[in-house]
Structure 1
Amino acid sequence: MASLTLPPAPPNPRQDAIDLHKAFKGFGCDSTTVSNILSHRDSMQRGYIQQEYKTMYSEELSHRISSELSGNHKKALSLWILDPAGRDATVLKEALSAESLDLKAATDIICSRTPSQLQIMKQTYYAKFGTYLEHDISQQASGDHQKILLAYVGIPRYEGPEVDPTIVTHDAKDLYKAGEKKLGTDEKTFIRIFTERSWAHMAAVASAYRHMYDRSLQKVVKNETSGNFEVALLTILRCAENPAKYFAKVLRKSMKGLGTDDKTLVRVVVTRTEIDMQYIKAEYYKKYKKPLADAIHSETSGGYRTFLLSLVGSH
């Protein structure tokens, strides 16, 4: 469930483009107006605004935002105006570039997306950057981490809720044999099951595993694997069981301790606002006894804070 709030009457994209242009004009940018307009438009409306803006002013809205705003506010708005697949592709390209390598962010994006989202995103990635996502993964990731990412973006998985209990039991047994039962770990089996099975199936496997061996599959993954390979397995498992809870945890981590991991904060808020932010907020409150909006408020400031809070909403 999205947290985005839209005006009661559908706004006119042409008028929005005019208002944005006015906000950019003159000395200093009226960033409040820019944020107010764009943070209350859905993906399709933002697309129309960008078309109108380009038609009327012969420049890309994204370029104007880049030149008028700065810092985290600019980063957040620049990502927000992209369509979901373009946004994921952009974040991934940056995360898989040698100069800004962030394999954790790449893993988070890849392993928390549905097969259909990954499919569109791969096409967008190639169209945008002229290189295949798989190529960039091969260049930057290594070992079992590379194997699981390549398998995850390459294998079409079922997205429905049905599961086959026989296969579920079989997979739980195979994971037990591949991990806890043996000395060392058979990573191949973990990769095969985690990348070939649907989320509903993986959630059922986790439940069966606990029932059969009185152990949490997450704990097993933590004990048997490490590094980014472990991160990938845990992301798949947590998103299979409860994506909102997973993202609540990611947000909490980004704001915990000294300093804020703004990159992660922006990425999660911007990419989940139109999907499941209401559920994430509920999970956040349930687990940390503090509204997500309050946490964001205390970790951010200025136009950046206002923009993120507009997306997240207060309730």
Structure 2
Amino acid sequence: MSTVTIPPVLTSPRDDAVQLYRAFKGFGCDTAAVINILAHRDATQRALIQQEYRTIYSGDLDKRLSSELSGNVKRAVVLWMHDPAARDATIVRQALSGNIIDLQAATEVICSRTPSQIQQFRQVYFAKFGTYLEHDIEFQASGDHKKLLLAYVTTPRYEGLEVDKVMVEKDAKALFKAGEKRLGTDEKTFIHIFSERSRAHLAAVDSAYHDIFGNTLKKAVKKETSGQFEYALLTILQCAHHPGKYFAKVLHKAMKGLGTDDTTLIRIIVTRAEIDMQYIKSEYQKKHGKRLNDAVHSETSGHYRAFLLSLVGPAY
């Protein structure tokens, strides 16, 4: 569920474009005014504002935002201006081709998305960057991690809740045979099952694995695999159970200890605000006994804090 709050009485996209232009004019940008508009508009409304801005001022709103804002608030707002598919494509492209290659960020986005979300952002990826997602994965990833990602982005998967109990038990036994039962790991079996099965099926496999062998599939993955391959498998498995719980965990880790991982904080809050932030907030409070709003408030400041809290939505 989205946490983006839209005003009950909306100004027109044209009026929003004019107000943004006024916020840019003069000495220094009125960042509070920019946030007050853009943090409270959905993807369709933001696209209409961009069109109106281009029509009236013959300029690109995204470029103007980039030149007027700075630091973390700039990174967050510029990313927010995309629709969800373009946002995912942008994050993955930057992670796979930027100055610093961030395989973990690319892996997280790919392995936490549904098959339909992946197909959408694959199409945008090619249209926007003129290259196939698979080509960038091929170039930057390696070994079993690369094989899993390539299989995961190209294999159609069922998105319904129905599962075949016989197939579930067969897969649980196959994974045990491929991992804990033998010396060395048959990675091909893990790649095959994790990349081709639906989320509901994989969650059922995990339950069957525990019932039959007395161990969790998560522990088996940690024991039998390592590195980025392990991270990808665990992301797929945890999102098969509960994406909200998974992202609550990632957010907590980003804000835990000395210093804040702002890149992760921005990525999760901006990409999930229109999708399932309500569930993430609930899971965060359940697990950590603290509201996500309070955690974000204590780890951020200024306009950056105001923007992220607007996307996280009101605290209850």
Aligned to 1:173: 173
Aligned to 1:41: 41
Equivalent residue letter for 1:171: D
Equivalent residue letter for 2:156: P
Note the C-alpha offset of 1:99.
1.8
Aligned to 2:93: 93
* Aligned counterparts of 1:197 and 1:293: Cα–Cα separation in 2: 35
Task: Please say if 1:2 is aligned against 2:2.
Answer: yes
1:49-68 map, 5 Å: 49-68=49-68
Aligned to 1:248: 248
Q: In the superposition, relative to structure 1, how do residues 27 and 98 fare at CA in structure 2: closer, same or farther (>3 Å)? A: closer
Question: What SS class does the counterpart of residue 14 from structure 2 fall into?
Answer: helix
Q: In the superposition, relative to structure 1, how do residues 307 and 98 fare at CA in structure 2: closer, same or farther (>3 Å)? A: closer
Q: In the superposition, relative to structure 1, how do residues 72 and 112 fare at CA in structure 2: closer, same or farther (>3 Å)? A: same
User: Do 1:4 and 1:40's aligned partners in 2 also have CA atoms closer than 8 Å?
Assistant: yes
* Aligned counterparts of 1:100 and 1:7: Cα–Cα separation in 2: 39
Equivalent residue letter for 2:251: L
Aligned to 1:220: 220
Note the C-alpha offset of 1:258.
1.3
1:142-181 map, 5 Å: 142-181=142-181
* Aligned counterparts of 1:86 and 1:121: Cα–Cα separation in 2: 6
Q: Deviations over 1:235-276 (max 9, x none)?
A: 000000000000000101111111111111000000000110
* Aligned counterparts of 1:67 and 1:55: Cα–Cα separation in 2: 19
Question: What SS class does the counterpart of residue 4 from structure 2 fall into?
Answer: coil
Note the C-alpha offset of 1:32.
0.3
* Aligned counterparts of 1:11 and 1:239: Cα–Cα separation in 2: 38
User: Do 1:137 and 1:146's aligned partners in 2 also have CA atoms closer than 8 Å?
Assistant: yes
Q: TM-score, normalised by structure 2?
A: 0.99
User: Do 1:66 and 1:74's aligned partners in 2 also have CA atoms closer than 8 Å?
Assistant: yes
Q: Deviations over 1:4-43 (max 9, x none)?
A: 1110023310110010110011110000000010000011
Number of aligned residues: 315
Runs of 5+ consecutive residues of structure 2 not aligned to the other structure: none
Equivalent residue letter for 2:89: A
Q: Deviations over 1:115-160 (max 9, x none)?
A: 1111010110011111110000000000000000000001011111
Note the C-alpha offset of 1:211.
0.9
Equivalent residue letter for 1:86: A
* Aligned counterparts of 2:95 and 2:250: Cα–Cα separation in 1: 17
Aligned to 1:263: 263
User: Do 1:98 and 1:140's aligned partners in 2 also have CA atoms closer than 8 Å?
Assistant: no
Q: Deviations over 1:51-80 (max 9, x none)?
A: 111111111110010000001100000000
Moved over 4 A (4+): none
Runs of 5+ consecutive residues of structure 1 not aligned to the other structure: none
Equivalent residue letter for 1:276: D
Aligned to 2:30: 30
Question: Identity, % of aligned pairs?
Answer: 66
Task: Please say if 1:306 is aligned against 2:306.
Answer: yes
1:65-214 map, 5 Å: 65-97=65-97, 99-214=99-214
* Aligned counterparts of 2:210 and 2:60: Cα–Cα separation in 1: 53
User: Do 1:89 and 1:121's aligned partners in 2 also have CA atoms closer than 8 Å?
Assistant: yes
* Aligned counterparts of 1:94 and 1:222: Cα–Cα separation in 2: 28
Equivalent residue letter for 1:210: H
Note the C-alpha offset of 1:98.
5.2
User: Do 1:86 and 1:124's aligned partners in 2 also have CA atoms closer than 8 Å?
Assistant: yes
Q: Deviations over 1:162-195 (max 9, x none)?
A: 1111100000000000011011110000000000
Q: Deviations over 1:199-222 (max 9, x none)?
A: 011011111111111111101101
Question: What SS class does the counterpart of residue 100 from structure 1 fall into?
Answer: coil
Equivalent residue letter for 2:102: D
Equivalent residue letter for 2:117: Q
Question: What SS class does the counterpart of residue 96 from structure 1 fall into?
Answer: helix
Q: TM-score, normalised by structure 1?
A: 0.99
